[in-house]
Structure 1
Amino acid sequence: MTATIDIPALDGSGHFSAYRADPAGTPKAAIIVIQEVFGVNSGIRRRCDQWAEKGYLALAPDLFWRIEPGLDLDPDIPEQFQKGLSMIEPFDQQLGIADVEATIRFARGALPSGGKVGVVGYCLGGRLAYMTAARTDADATVGYYGVGIDGLLDEKHAIANPLLLHIPEEDHFVDKAAQARMHAGLDDHPKVTLYDYPGEDHGFATEFGQRRSEESAQLADSRTAAFFAEHLG
């Protein structure tokens, strides 16, 4: 079952929508899916549906609601791709993390007592996933091709629960030097796992579209599924 729901912002400034997908039975845990710059589009909604099929409650919050609520872009259309990129500058990442935290709290309230909440994000969402791991009580977090994580390494001491990061080696938004800094800063962290994907570019695991690289996408997604199965139950 799927629906669009409203979640109150933590600062009392309003409500934002979230796509919700429920499993057939009692959810074993919840997974928050953090959007790319293209909004809660068909690929993000499909991710939620897939987690529900695996027995999780899945939620994808509309993090651009303060700028342009309901944004739904196709990155394979050049004008829409550029529109997505234009959302980065006006987006307040601190408020975005607050909205992720509000969604985590909502999910905990919707689960049986003691239920765990995981978070997975892509692109901008991959960066926010790292920030979520450092700044919230999410039980397990996964980031795909997060941008600028090497500039957030001073927060790594706050990562208390498992974090998995997928890093395409040919990411044109994250150069080799930035990738090297991520490894130097995180390889010895007891809660962090990094996987590299040789030959792959940013967006290789998108659910739909021209950026998808099938074999590597399936490998990354299988690792994510195993990671959540281990840490969320």
Structure 2
Amino acid sequence: MFKEEAVMREILCEVLYGDNMVEQKRISQILRVSIGLVNKTVARLEQIGAMSKTGRKYSVTAFKKVLLLWSSLRNLQRDIVYMTRVNLPVRKIERDLPDGSILSAYSALNYMFNEAPADYSEVWAYIPENILPEVKTRFPPNNLPSNLYILKSDTLLLENARRFSKGMSLVSVPQLYVDLWNIPSWYSKEYIALLEKKIAEIKDGILE
């Protein structure tokens, strides 16, 4: 995942759970990235009418535009570091993932809101590189169609998950949206529709 995507994720999280104002210097410090990168990302969002300048800060004027731009840039397939077939119920697979795993996609929405619009048969999770060997031991490789997808994690994603998932081992809501948007399964659309409803409940009018 590119650092520009981490900047967009931080902007979306701060707006979803705070006010609509974003300060570039603060984002630069939180993510430990250059102020130039933050300014470049903000300028890109300003160009599409998703942000506007208010004094020294910027306000997010089109939350969904930011979500969709990031979704179009995200390359989920590139971040898959391991996949295999596991002949177990999805809940068992989720429970058997090692500590340090961060659930995304259908599992994350189900645990986050205790609701699922359709049954799901795939598990997607972000895994730090140091525990990938343990994942492979617990879920050995095979040549069958995969239903467990392991994504490359990074420090910024892990920190974001800790700050915005209320102590659960789940990705943040914006990360969840973008990941679902990039999964080709037919029922992804149903999960995105439910997630948009939940986002609107977190902050009324944010997707308008």
TM-score tier after normalising by the smaller chain length: under 0.3
Larger radius of gyration: 2
> Given the two structures, how large is their TM-score scaled by the length of structure 2?
0.27
Whose strand proportion is higher, 1 or 2? 1
